[in-house]
Amino acid sequence: MKTATVCFSEFWSNNSLPPVGHEFYMVDMTFNNYGGETRLEAFDEPQRTNMSHEPRVEGWLGETDNINKQALGKWRIVEVLSKRAPQYYNQGVKVKIEKVP
């Protein structure tokens, strides 16, 4: 189990927090144009590689427009630590998560 700050677009757009038990595929996004800023993003399905377009649960997805993407597997929320939805998408939600086997 680990604590992470993750960006959940589906909940941010509704100004809500993700529920405990929510499962998602996590991707590490590194923005090379902005000094290597990194953030974790949640997706409902595995993301695709940038060349072969095959879905990938874990491993390197590629780099497009100076954004490097690494799939980190499927995760489940154990506890939501943030008290309210973030004002801006890139602020993310602080959660305790565990890897789904």
Q: Binning pLDDT at 50, 70 and 90, where does residue 98 land?
A: very high
Sign of CA dihedral 40, 46, 49, 50: negative
| Mean per-residue pLDDT, 78-96 | 91
CB under 8 Å to 82, separation ≥6 — which residues? 17, 93, 94, 95
Mind listing the pLDDT tens digit for each residue in 16-66? 999 999 999 999 999 988 777 899 999 999 999 999 999 999 999 999 999
| Alpha helices per DSSP H over the chain | 9-12
Count CA atoms closer than 13 A to 18's CA, side-chain side. 29
